[in-house]
Structure 1
Amino acid sequence: MFSKAAVPWRGETFRVCSVSSALLLRALATMHEYVLRQQLHNEIHARPYEHLLTPLQISHMAYLADAQAQAQAHVHLCRLLENHHLPLPSEGSSFHVADIGQVRLRWERHGEFTSYTFIRPGLATDQQSWFGHCACADISAAWRETIPGALICANHIALLPDHPGDDWPQHDLSAVLDADALVASEVADGQARVYTDLRIHADGFARFVIVSRAISPRRRGRLAQRLLEIETYRMLSLLALPAAREITPLLSQYEQELAQIMDAIRSSQPERDRQTLERLSQLASTVESLYAQHHARFTASSVYYDLANRRITDLHEQQFMGLQTLGQFMDRRLAPAMQTCSHVIRRLQGLSERISRCSNLLRTRVEVQMQQQNRELLASMNRRQYLQLRLQQTVEGLSVAAITYYASSLVGHLFEAMHRWLHVDAAAAQGWSIPVIALAVWLGLRRAHQRLAKVDR
């Protein structure tokens, strides 16, 4: 089972035990493995980059889709693959690649969108024809038009043949791109150039042109995917901008209303505090509802913006010919929009916090007033109890007199009946019994009060 060998090292001898591979595999097979270990390990290998050879065309589309639309997108993809007798993606799969004729289809499912990338080798020599027959045109138009979800991003990429020389040629792309809005940069450590105008053209797609030197197909695939992700994340990050513009006038209105409530708190009479508190509570519920409705969207937009900036950093852009780079364009156009969104959500959070502090202040004031009212009520109850006690003591005094009267009358009747044997005047006996009976009754009542007092304590 074990083999031992003497291995000299620095004048000493160590014994090395080697375990057979079969025994090691058997031991690993008996280990208890975490149920999601394989899935978590394979996550870093999900959605690999494509190996792209020039020249070729790429068409990319991203669709906003909720859980139901994503399930429908999976069924829709399976229907296309079945028509071409191709393997189907597994249920719950988030990535699938299939070759449909000359077109390579790459399907991805993300948190709130699905994307379709169509890659076709070859490119027309005529510049105006680069985007005339796109890579997705070979896929059924009926299938493309019925893709579930709402189209949020669409891009074409034309990868020109590799440039063999050290000096870059002068490309006139005015036939396919808007020269006044041209954005370009050297990327991949100066090994490629990217051109775009970031405009939606007549076919509904934005356009990118990539020219590169003889770089590896995998590196070219990384470059193309980063460009597509930048544009996709840029559009997704802007989803919060319409909400920010919609919320801004509402925030001004709510802030003004809060200022009015604060003025009312300073100047109002204590008896109106409850009405002010109800008004403030209604404002708080409105603001919290607005925050809950839009918080997820603003948070997601911030994440998408960070991803877009990270992809731009990965490009290693360099400026050439004085043209604006992608990073500069994003800093100038996208960053202000995202700062607006960030300002609105911070403003909404600040308003919510101010309302909370104001509510606590007013609630404390109302509670103090209620405590004062409770003290007054308790004092009134104490006075009533004192009066009841005095009345009870008065009644008890009358009760002593009544009991003494009836008891002495009984004594008088008793001595009248026994006069023949005792020879005692009944009236005198009755008179002498009155103080004795009164004292006994009074002592009995006092002892009863003392026992009740002990029970209360």
Structure 2
Amino acid sequence: MAPDIRLNEYPQRRLLNDEAHARPFEPATTPGQVSYIAYLNRNVSAEQERWLVGELCAWFGAAAPEAGQVHFSVDLGPLRFKWARHTEFSSFTFSRYGATGEPFADSALSLLPADWLAQLPGNVLLATHAVLLADADLPVPLEEIGARYFGGHDLIGAQIGEGSGTACTDFRIHADGFARCLVIDHSMGRRQAGRMLQRLFEIDTYRMLAFLALPVAKSISPELNDADRELAELTTAMSSARQDDEPALLDRLTKLAARIESALSLTDYRFSAAHAYYELVRRRVGELRELRIQGVQPFHEFVERRLGPAMETCESVARRQRVLAARVARASSLLRTRVDITHEKQNQALLESMDKRAHLQLRLQETVEGLSVAAITYYTVGLVGYAAKGLKTLGVHVNPELVTGIAIPVVALLVALGLRRMRKALMHEG
């Protein structure tokens, strides 16, 4: 018996480990029909989706998803159902296996209650019917598939799984609102067939999600043209602007910078997401392990020729936004430097003026101080004179005029020294 070992686990260890096994591929049996619907879930909460899935499970008498689940699969009897919620979109996959008659004549959705289908979210981004057939069950030769099942449109397809199967589609929406995908099983097992179907659905889903950025790029291009022209006008005006014109130019540059930053905040996520989805499409195409079919455009070529230029347009617009924002920032910095230099000159002139006024004030203070010495001396000497006359009246032998004359320089000196000492004390306190 193995010893009971208890580990001090990281709190999220099991959650992180289980994430590698989340959203597993559903095995697929040949022949079969699979209907796949993906919609933007920005206006639909996970609780609403779980309720909708629970309604379907109740109709078939199956167990509903538990609270907190964001991916769920269940056997409903006549069909298999899978729900998965992602960051921007959610998907429903309906599968039924066994002989189904003519390809695309009906679908697994025909087994669903009509009132439940009516409650599906309205932001459907992708809806596809896929048919999985064996070689012997293919009603027509491979070269006639396009005319028979895809309305004569040009096919995109290849041998997949290094020749173990063949996949064909036209990436078009047909009259019933669904795209079509035909997979021919040469030697695929159930799990490989399920993986290949899922990859084909993901290629189309991520392709559509990547394309969401293209209308944004096209809509913002005229605004970038206007901003570019305005920036050129402002930088030209800066070279000949007078000092009085600088505040108005700086105000216009600030408003232009705000416009560009606002556009960046609105589009940066969309462009970044488009780049990530494009990389996912290319990765999923690589996982198909294609072998070319003569005369049929393979998936990787379709992606590079159709999706690649759209992504380059989005990247070009995103790069242009960043460059324009940097140019506006440089122009604003240059103009602010000019304004700061002007302010520094004004401040310097103001300081020089204040220095002159302080010097004049000091001269005036010295003049007033001299007058104060004279005034204080005059009144003090007058008091000394009165005191001398009073002493003479009392019989003291003193000459009032002589005492007054002697007191004048003594009092003046003492008053001047006192005022000087007081001024030094005040300056020391300051």
- 1:216 maps to a residue whose letter is G
**What is the aligned partner in structure 1 of residue 71 from structure 2?**
95
User: 1:221-300 to 2 correspondence within 5 Å?
Assistant: 221-300=194-273
Match of 2:144 among 172, 175, 185: 172
- Structure 2 length as normaliser, TM-score? 0.95
Tell me by how many angstroms 1:169 deviates. Answer: 5.5
Determine whether 1:428 maps to 2:402. Answer: yes
**What is the aligned partner in structure 2 of residue 336 from structure 1?**
309
In structure 2, how many angstroms separate the alpha carbons of the residues matched to 1:141 and 1:372? 80
**What is the aligned partner in structure 1 of residue 170 from structure 2?**
197
**What is the aligned partner in structure 1 of residue 423 from structure 2?**
449
**What is the aligned partner in structure 2 of residue 147 from structure 1?**
120
Q: Structure 1 residues 123, 274: CA separation in 2 closer, same or farther (over 3 Å shift)?
A: farther
User: 1:181-220 to 2 correspondence within 5 Å?
Assistant: 181-220=154-193
- Indicate conservation of the 8 Å contact 1:255/1:351, yes or no: yes
- Indicate conservation of the 8 Å contact 1:400/1:438, yes or no: yes
- 1:202 maps to a residue whose letter is A
In structure 2, how many angstroms separate the alpha carbons of the residues matched to 1:288 and 1:104? 48
Q: C-alpha deviations, 1:232-253, integer Å up to 9, x for none?
A: 0000010011110000111000
In structure 1, how many angstroms separate the alpha carbons of the residues matched to 2:308 and 2:99? 35
User: 1:354-373 to 2 correspondence within 5 Å?
Assistant: 354-373=327-346
- 1:243 maps to a residue whose letter is V
- 1:80 maps to a residue whose letter is L
Tell me by how many angstroms 1:370 deviates. Answer: 1.1
**What is the aligned partner in structure 1 of residue 413 from structure 2?**
439
- 1:210 maps to a residue whose letter is V
In structure 2, how many angstroms separate the alpha carbons of the residues matched to 1:170 and 1:33? 56
Tell me by how many angstroms 1:125 deviates. Answer: 4.0
- Structure 1 length as normaliser, TM-score? 0.90
In structure 1, how many angstroms separate the alpha carbons of the residues matched to 2:36 and 2:133? 17
In structure 2, how many angstroms separate the alpha carbons of the residues matched to 1:227 and 1:287? 38
Give the match's secondary structure for 1:418. helix
Tell me by how many angstroms 1:449 deviates. Answer: 2.4
Give the match's secondary structure for 2:20. helix
Q: C-alpha deviations, 1:392-418, integer Å up to 9, x for none?
A: 111111110010000100111111011
**What is the aligned partner in structure 1 of residue 29 from structure 2?**
53
Tell me by how many angstroms 1:268 deviates. Answer: 0.6
Match of 1:394 among 357, 362, 367: 367
Q: C-alpha deviations, 1:36-95, integer Å up to 9, x for none?
A: 221111111111112111110110000101264433122111122122221111112111
Tell me by how many angstroms 1:149 deviates. Answer: 4.8
Aligned residues: 426
- 2:398 maps to a residue whose letter is V
- Indicate conservation of the 8 Å contact 2:34/2:94, yes or no: yes
- 2:84 maps to a residue whose letter is E
Percent sequence identity is 40
Match of 2:388 among 382, 406, 415: 415
Tell me by how many angstroms 1:162 deviates. Answer: 4.4
**What is the aligned partner in structure 2 of residue 85 from structure 1?**
61
- 2:342 maps to a residue whose letter is Q
**Structure 2, unaligned stretches of length 5 or more?**
none
Match of 2:110 among 115, 137, 146: 137
Match of 2:94 among 115, 118, 130: 118
**What is the aligned partner in structure 1 of residue 350 from structure 2?**
377
Comparing 421-430 with 332-341, greater Cα deviation is found at 421-430
- Indicate conservation of the 8 Å contact 1:197/1:207, yes or no: yes
In structure 2, how many angstroms separate the alpha carbons of the residues matched to 1:410 and 1:47? 111
**What is the aligned partner in structure 2 of residue 5 from structure 1?**
none
Q: C-alpha deviations, 1:295-320, integer Å up to 9, x for none?
A: 11111111111101100011111212
- 1:93 maps to a residue whose letter is Q
- Indicate conservation of the 8 Å contact 2:165/2:187, yes or no: no
- Indicate conservation of the 8 Å contact 1:70/1:114, yes or no: no
**Structure 1, unaligned stretches of length 5 or more?**
1-19
Tell me by how many angstroms 1:435 deviates. Answer: 0.8
In structure 2, how many angstroms separate the alpha carbons of the residues matched to 1:230 and 1:442? 100
Comparing 331-340 with 170-179, greater Cα deviation is found at 170-179
Tell me by how many angstroms 1:204 deviates. Answer: 0.7
Give the match's secondary structure for 2:361. helix
Give the match's secondary structure for 1:160. strand
**What is the aligned partner in structure 2 of residue 15 from structure 1?**
none
In structure 1, how many angstroms separate the alpha carbons of the residues matched to 2:78 and 2:93? 13
- 1:55 maps to a residue whose letter is P
Determine whether 1:65 maps to 2:41. Answer: yes
